[in-house]
């Protein structure tokens, strides 16, 4: 604002007002100019002084006023900045990936999944997720949301061993393939090279030979895993040599277009061809050969006639379709108490599924098919871990065989105590390594003691431990007819490296609720409207 005041005889002067104009009856230090004339309106009208004194207006807030330079801006890490400002907070919620839910404190939308955070955002160096949480808090619901979102971007979900099932309906809704495994339902031929064998023949040349060698290693690991389950201990090193030689011999003698079966492998070991005898160091003595192969022979017979039944003794009932938008290996028909068959079926599903991934990448490298990315789900990890001693090595070998890009994975279990229940210290250390190597760790409600142990691995703050521990509390005693959910249902904490955890709240849609309802068998027997209920609430 510019004002015009009078000084002297009719001369005007403009100035910038830097302070409000004060009147003489408000300023005790006011001194009127000598040539001031009385106002025409009378002596009671307040006189105005248009110009501030040399040192500015007097009074509270008075004095000279000058322009202020803006303060200097500095950037620092939270470790350094907290020394100056202890109330530092994390950055905003990530917006790359599948929309998961809302930030528990800010309400902002939180997006994320291992594939997007690895390929696009570069938040993590390993496209893997490890999820822990008590039953019934929504772990599989969150993974189902990831599957739906990733499928929309062209990623192929692979659910390798659906136990309840939690993902079969979602895969069907995506137009995918659901393969059932179990006694009388469907089987897997563990000696079948599957998609990898077909891709090796199609590619040919040196690349086909390399893929064929990898196929042999995958089949060897799968048969060794079945033997480990039946024995409840790991195979000896010389037995693996015998098994490898027998598989090579069997593959060379099997006609093209036909996959060998486990009974064929048993027959080869019983006959004892020269290639197999050479690795037993029998020196031409039948007794030495039988002493070397009889334990393995008995274990293979135990697979065929024992608790695993004929699930792995015949041809594969349904092969995985490489062009399917999603695949689910449904093993929910296997009984809860049948731990050996469950573990064997899960390992067979993982081997077949990961072999399909390797075949797809090999074909894409050869320019025969377009490149595809895959996201595998290994749910209820505790069940195969407890099935037999040494099974951790087999799981680790199966998940590490595919060293190429384009494969993310999610491993889901309940608590770290699932690893502590393993038989040997070596197995427990390896199982804990699944958590340490994960790019993302997602935690649902867990007891405080579990959170304390997890904090030593992933670096949880005291506040994060208290928050997640509070989610493990049971619901209140609701009145008859009311329904109160556990306080931790749908709440998760996402941890990535040393970053502060991101607490989210997941609210499912009606479509998701229809696709994933773990209580559907209860709903089938729900009493009619108006009937009396006894023993449980609606």
Judge whether residue 157 has pLDDT over 90. yes
Between strands 11-16 and 2-7, the pairing is: antiparallel
Q: Where are the beta strands (DSSP E) in 87-168?
A: 99-103, 109-111, 128-132, 156-162
**Rounded to an integer, what distance in angstroms lies between the CA atom of residue 489 and that of residue 475?**
10
Which sign, positive or negative, has the C-alpha torsion 426, 431, 436, 437?
positive
Residue 307: strand, helix, or coil: coil
Q: With a threshold of 0.95, does the pTM exceed it?
A: no
**Rounded to an integer, what distance in angstroms lies between the CA atom of residue 439 and that of residue 115?**
10
Scanning 459-494, the segments in alpha helix (DSSP H) are 462-470
**Rounded to an integer, what distance in angstroms lies between the CA atom of residue 281 and that of residue 284?**
8
- DSSP class of residue 186 equals B
CB 331 within 8 A of CB 182: yes
Average pLDDT of the residues of the chain = 79
Please report the pLDDT score of residue 69 as a whole number: 61
CB 20 within 8 A of CB 32: no
Please report the pLDDT score of residue 159 as a whole number: 93
Please report the pLDDT score of residue 310 as a whole number: 77
Give percent of the chain above pLDDT 90: 30
For residue 217, give the nearest of 240, 249, 195 by alpha carbon: 240
Judge whether residue 529 has pLDDT over 50. no
Q: What is the arithmetic mean of pLDDT over 503-511? A: 90
From the centroid of its chain, how far is CA 91? 21
Judge whether residue 519 has pLDDT over 70. no
Please report the pLDDT score of residue 269 as a whole number: 94
Domain boundaries, the chain: 1-58
Judge whether residue 247 has pLDDT over 50. yes
* Run of H or E including 354: helix 339-365
CB 347 within 8 A of CB 392: no
Q: What is the arithmetic mean of pLDDT over 301-320? A: 84
Confidence band of 538 (pLDDT split at 50, 70, 90): very low
For residue 402, give the nearest of 247, 225, 224, 218 by alpha carbon: 218
pLDDT, tens only, 52-107:
566 666 777 666 655 556 667 777 776 777 777 776 655 568 889 999 999 998 88
CB 340 within 8 A of CB 307: yes
Confidence band of 327 (pLDDT split at 50, 70, 90): very high
CB 160 within 8 A of CB 343: no
Q: What is the arithmetic mean of pLDDT over 329-334? A: 90
Confidence band of 283 (pLDDT split at 50, 70, 90): confident
Checking 415-418 for CB contacts under 8 A at 24+ apart, the result is 415/132, 415/134, 415/446, 415/450, 416/132, 416/450, 416/453, 416/454, 416/457, 417/450, 418/381, 418/382, 418/385, 418/386
Please report the pLDDT score of residue 380 as a whole number: 79
Please report the pLDDT score of residue 35 as a whole number: 52
Q: Which residue has the higher pLDDT, 278 or 68?
A: 278
Please report the pLDDT score of residue 14 as a whole number: 42
Please report the pLDDT score of residue 221 as a whole number: 86
Confidence band of 268 (pLDDT split at 50, 70, 90): very high
Separation in Å, CA 299 to CA 126, 333, 395:
37, 25, 20
Please report the pLDDT score of residue 147 as a whole number: 94
Lowest mean pLDDT across 40-54, 268-282, 474-488: 40-54
Judge whether residue 180 has pLDDT over 80. yes
Confidence band of 7 (pLDDT split at 50, 70, 90): very low
Separation in Å, CA 486 to CA 233, 309, 445:
40, 41, 10
Please report the pLDDT score of residue 536 as a whole number: 31
Q: Which two tokens stand for residue 87?
A: 């109330």
Q: What is the arithmetic mean of pLDDT over 200-227? A: 90
Residue 407: strand, helix, or coil: strand
Lowest mean pLDDT across 19-28, 67-76, 119-128, 512-521: 19-28
Q: Which two tokens stand for residue 263?
A: 């009974």
Q: Which residue has the higher pLDDT, 38 or 291?
A: 291
Please report the pLDDT score of residue 236 as a whole number: 86
Confidence band of 504 (pLDDT split at 50, 70, 90): very high
Please report the pLDDT score of residue 503 as a whole number: 94
Q: What is the arithmetic mean of pLDDT over 366-379? A: 90
**Rounded to an integer, what distance in angstroms lies between the CA atom of residue 329 and that of residue 159?**
6
**Rounded to an integer, what distance in angstroms lies between the CA atom of residue 360 and that of residue 5?**
87
Judge whether residue 318 has pLDDT over 50. yes
Confidence band of 148 (pLDDT split at 50, 70, 90): very high
Judge whether residue 402 has pLDDT over 50. no
From the centroid of its chain, how far is CA 98? 12
């Amino acid at each position: 604002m510019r004002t015009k005041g009078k000084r002297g005889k009719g001369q005007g002067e403009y100035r910038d007002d830097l302070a409000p104009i004060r009147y003489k009856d408000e300023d005790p230090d006011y001194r009127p100019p000598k040539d001031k004339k009385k106002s025409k309106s009378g002596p009671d009208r307040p006189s105005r002084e248009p110009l501030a004194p040399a040192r500015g207006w007097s009074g509270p807030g008075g004095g000279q006023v000058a322009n202020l330079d803006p303060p200097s801006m500095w950037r620092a890490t939270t470790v350094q900045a907290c020394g100056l400002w202890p109330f530092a907070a994390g950055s905003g919620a990530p917006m790359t990936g599948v929309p998961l839910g809302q930030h528990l404190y800010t309400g902002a939308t939180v997006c994320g999944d291992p594939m997007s955070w690895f390929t696009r955002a570069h938040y993590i160096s390993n496209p893997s997720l490890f999820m822990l949480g008590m039953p019934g808090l929504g772990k599989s619901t969150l993974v189902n949301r990831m599957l739906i979102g990733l499928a929309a971007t062209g990623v192929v979900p692979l659910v390798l061993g659906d136990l309840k099932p939690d993902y079969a309906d979602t895969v069907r809704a995506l137009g995918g393939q659901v393969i059932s495994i179990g006694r009388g339902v469907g089987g897997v031929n563990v000696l079948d090279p599957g998609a990898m064998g077909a891709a090796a023949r199609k590619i040919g040349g040196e690349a086909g030979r390399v893929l064929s060698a990898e196929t042999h290693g995958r089949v060897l690991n799968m048969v060794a895993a079945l033997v480990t389950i039946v024995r409840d201990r790991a195979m000896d090193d010389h037995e693996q040599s015998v098994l490898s030689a027998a598989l090579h011999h069997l593959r060379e003698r099997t006609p093209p277009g036909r996959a060998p079966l486990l009974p064929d492998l048993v027959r080869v070991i019983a006959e004892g061809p020269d290639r197999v005898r050479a690795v037993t160091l029998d020196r031409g003595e039948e007794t030495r050969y039988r002493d070397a192969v009889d334990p393995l022979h008995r274990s293979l017979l135990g697979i065929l006639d024992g608790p695993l039944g004929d699930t792995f003794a015949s041809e594969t009932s349904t092969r995985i379709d490489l062009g399917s938008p999603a695949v689910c290996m449904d093993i929910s028909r296997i009984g809860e108490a049948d731990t050996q068959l469950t573990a064997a079926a899960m390992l067979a599903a993982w081997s077949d599924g990961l072999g399909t991934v390797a075949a797809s990448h090999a074909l894409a490298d050869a320019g025969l098919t377009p490149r595809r990315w895959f996201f595998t789900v290994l749910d209820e990890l505790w069940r195969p871990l407890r099935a037999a001693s040494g099974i951790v090595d087999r799981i680790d070998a199966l998940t590490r065989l595919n060293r190429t890009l384009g494969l993310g994975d999610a491993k889901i279990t309940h608590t770290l105590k699932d690893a502590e229940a393993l038989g040997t210290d070596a197995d427990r250390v390896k199982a804990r390594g699944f958590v340490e190597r994960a790019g993302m760790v997602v935690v649902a409600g867990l007891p405080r003691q579990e959170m304390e142990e997890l904090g030593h691995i992933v670096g949880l703050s005291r506040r994060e431990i208290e928050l997640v521990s509070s989610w493990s509390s049971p619901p209140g005693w609701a009145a008859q007819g009311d329904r109160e959910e556990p306080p931790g249902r749908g709440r998760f904490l996402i941890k990535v490296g040393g970053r502060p955890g991101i607490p989210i709240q997941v609210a499912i849609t009606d479509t998701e609720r229809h696709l994933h309802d773990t209580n559907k068998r209860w709903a089938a027997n729900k009493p009619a409207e108006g009937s009396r209920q006894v023993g449980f609430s609606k």
